[in-house]
Structure 1
Amino acid sequence: MNARDEIVDAMEGRRAELPPPAVFTSTATVSQMDSSGCSWPEANFDPQKLVGLSLEMNRRFGFGSVRLPFSISVEAKVHGCEVAEGKKDTPPMVLSSPYAGKGALSDVPDLMPVDEFLSSGWVASVLQAAELMNKHEEVFKTVSIDGPFSVAEFLAGAENMIMGLLMEPALVDKWISAMVPYQEAYASRVTELCDNVMVIEEADTSILPPEYFDQVIGSKLPGVILKAMKSSFCSLHSCGDTIAVVDELSNLGEDLISCEASESPRAYTERIHRKCKVLGSVNPIRVLMQGTPLDVLEAAAHSVEAGFDLIGPECGVSPLTSDENLMMLSHYRERLR
């Protein structure tokens, strides 16, 4: 059994005494860019370089998992948002949107047809990269897409959307609903090209109050998840504090959930209570980037004790993360046996 098979076993519910390491969030580091010859910003947009950099997690460190893309701005850019391409140590970032009203939520504009969205720009590049990476049968391949609410926030403006929940909830619903066909179609295409579709959605309760969860996420995301599960596993990731909604978040139909749970890992695993699998919960900044290999080993051991099914970072790997810490995470079981 290879490292990929171990991850498949975990996703299917065959939990090992020491769960396999895996990274489903962003994986690129400056060191991997140097060793692969595939560096940001070009490796965010060029399909060949995107695949080359993604595969370094397996080739350099032995992880059974690889993932692309390295940005959550893909859909927003194709819809017309201005996106900074970033630098070698900085990912792309949405700067502005032509649809974001100044201090108020604007109406939903006429957007491109779904077929055009799938064949345009950065989305088309990600799909091409996924096709190339799908040829690598030795690794467990994750492709990430955004959830409808996350895309709507980029297009309409995050502050406008949150204020709109109070002032114009029907218009907020209209914005999110407008994103659903694009994300369902994207999920339907991606699921044919990978082992796992990771849907990234904004469920942080410091931004989205828990009482709005069903309206914003619970009623819109299951359709995307269902499309993603057509030919692959589906995992769901949210940054931030989600403990108040983790019961609902883990009950949307996905195979696995990934949350920022390192501050209270057992509270998360107990609330999820086998509704789906759970990946975590090594802190990517305090432990993976700033800590030592011993810190990584201790965090992995605590995650095992808390009942996580896969052991990995709870959010994206920083580009400044050291090789030594990633190597320890990939081989943590050898130190604990």
Structure 2
Amino acid sequence: MSRFLIGRLGASLVSLFGASLVAFLILRLSPGDPARLFLGPFAGREAVDALRVELGLDGSLASQYLLYIANFLRGDWGFSYSTGQPVATLIARRFPATLELGLFAFLLAFVAAVALALVAAYRRGPTDAGARAVSFFAMGVPPFWFGLVLLLVFFEALGWLPGPDGRLSLRTIPPPAVTGFVTVDALLAGDGAAFRDALAHLILPGVTLALMPFSFLFRLLRANLIDIAREPFITVARSRGLTRWWAFVRHALPNAFLPTLTASGLLFGQLLAGSVLVERVFVWPGVGALVTDGVLKQDFSVVQAFILLSAVIYVLCNLAVDLIAGLIDPRVAGAAR
């Protein structure tokens, strides 16, 4: 197990090194001078040169990279050129909204995938074909387009759900901030109206963001269930009096679940890092909207911090899932030796 852990940690460090290089080079190789972008076009040359020295931009690329990593580890992620605020402050302010949306979307995707995969693998035929058609649609449809369709149908046409106005309606008083999750904070404050409003605002962006992970998890779990259903121990379980459905639920599902668990961690990390366009469509005040504004305004400090932070989240999720899989099934750790 120790060799397995060391191997996974080494692979994680290599991945983080590559991501840090990409994030570092984005700002250095992009057109324009970061110091000039920060001070504006009318600043004098002396002021620009002084700021370059202060930011460490006058040294070699190697020295700049080491300074960049040291600052990142200290929580100094630079300043936003467009707002003049520390990037770490901006991201910390918006990240709870992204995390709440990501957790909600992942929960939707996971529950729907497990339920539909069980039904599809148990009832082969039209039910299975319909479930696979839904998964193919979810895999192929662009999320931002599907989000717009959902808004047109459920907000504009039917009026059942709120539109793109953030995490709460304007008429709703936000609950006291405790966790940063509006739904949780509303429950802690005993504010049922705020909780219902926050939950309603999560539904459309959550469904949109859950499409891709749902499709992947469903297809993976369905294929594993079908393979395991042919194993002899399922026949033995049936011979002991279990119905075919309970043999699926009690024996086939736990044995098919390990690959799904591994994929779930990767998909959750991807959800947090890949919600940029969905947040933009629904005017969700998360990190995604901050990054798109940074790209449009050439605020590269925000973009490079987001790239490296996304890599850290993705690698940590991957590492955690690998360790959990190794603890659940020692064969996973043995195969990595």
- TM-score interval, normalised by the smaller of the two chains: under 0.3
Q: If the length of structure 2 is used for normalisation, what is the TM-score?
A: 0.24
- Relative to its length, the structure with more helix (as a share) is 2
Q: If the length of structure 1 is used for normalisation, what is the TM-score?
A: 0.24
For the pair shown, the structure with the greater C-alpha radius of gyration is: 2
